[in-house]
Amino acid sequence: MAQTLQQSELKARIKSLALEMGFDQVGITTPAALGEGEQAIETWVQEGRHGDMRYLEDFEIRRERFFSGFDDAKSVIVLGVNYYSKNEGQGTRDKGQVLKGRVARYAWGKDYHKVIRQKHQQLVDQLKELVGDKLQAKSCIDVQPIPERFAATQAGLGFIGKHTGVLNQAFGPWLFLSEIVTNLELEEDPPSNGDCGTCNHCQKVCPTGALDQDYKMDARLCIAYLTIEHKGVIPRELRPKIKDWIFGCDECLQICPFTSKTKETQWTEFKPEAGFGEWLNLDELFQINSNSQHDKKFQATAIRRASRKQLLRNACIVLGNSGRKEALPYLEKALNDPGSIVRLHAAWALGRIPNPEARALLSLRRSVEPDIDVLAEIDSSLESSH
């Protein structure tokens, strides 16, 4: 009984410290309770739904490596940070403004990996003061082999919705999740129970059909995956469906009934003014002429996850979908970019703009283009512009 009481007191103190530090949600589970989530990831990968995210194919190996030398890991502290912030403006929908590309809300401010990692270290330092040097702890923020959404449900932070994100009773779908795995033996919180019932708003609104199967996502169709993780050519049939999203997508989250529970984040690091906000100015983007300039400009934000070529590829799609004549100078520059993937998407975009100048640019580039895939895209655009 004394041991149970000691665990209970320690758990309460840890939760209090985490909340004082700014975390909005905290719960406790164990490594042993994560098996079902790990199996779900392996099944998802076996079905090929992970696309080009090859690191997920090595999930079991990475898990063994992560827990190597940490055989006494007993508890997982699951932490949630509310990142919701209100919209800034209308961007490309305002015809009088410069062309812009829309950014998913999670990337409006500073890079959450860096911000939360610092908070984790502060929390671990506090725990060492509390329990002494016997403490072992490993920080997990998105990239470690922990099935974090399943961990969140096991720790009582919410349930997984049909859009495959965690739905929290206090903050809706807008939580950054992270974990600290520790050798402290803590009382587990009861798991969350819940489901979406007959609601399928997210499935109906998804532009590409990535959520056609309940509680499963096909990453190969997801706009967030296509614009951030996918490094190659975006399938032609999906490009119009990307609309004005240049980095990520929030459509399934924005329409979820749980958005009624949203609250403005108290973390200044995740507010729009801390980063680039809801829209990327495409004029500024096309002034970046090297990878080093790209890294320097976006170094403090999650947008750096997409390389210069990827972001320009995405920008070309946004410009093509705009159909605006004002896009032509940017697409002309993209059509002459050193990266063939940028040129290919620029060629497609020019075919979407009903203007004689677009056709002239394609014809001119065709006479000097060395890449057969880009040539095929140019020919397709010229054919469709007849």
Catalytic residue among 24, 52, 142, 244: 142
Rounded distance, CA 177 to CA 112, Å?
10
Strands 279-281 and 100-103: antiparallel
Encode 314-336 in three state secondary structure.
HHHHHHHHHCCHHHHHHHHHHCC
Rounded distance, CA 204 to CA 222, Å?
14
Distances in whole angstroms, Cα of residue 7 to Cα of each of 71, 120, 327: 20, 21, 61
Rounded distance, CA 343 to CA 346, Å?
5
Q: Where are the alpha helices (DSSP H) in 256-307?
A: 282-285, 291-298
Q: Where are the alpha helices (DSSP H) in the chain?
A: 2-20, 35-46, 59-67, 112-131, 148-154, 201-205, 223-224, 239-242, 251-254, 282-285, 291-298, 308-322, 328-334, 340-350, 356-366, 372-384
* CA-based torsion, 166, 169, 175, 178: positive or negative: negative
The question of whether 142 is a catalytic residue gets the answer yes
Please state the φ and ψ torsions of residue 216, each to the nearest 5 degrees.
-135, 145
* CA-based torsion, 123, 124, 128, 131: positive or negative: positive
Does residue 226 contact residue 238 with C-beta atoms inside 8 Å? yes
Q: Which residue has the tokens 């725990």?
A: 127
Distances in whole angstroms, Cα of residue 215 to Cα of each of 52, 158, 163, 196: 21, 14, 6, 9
- Give catalytic residues, as residue numbers: 142
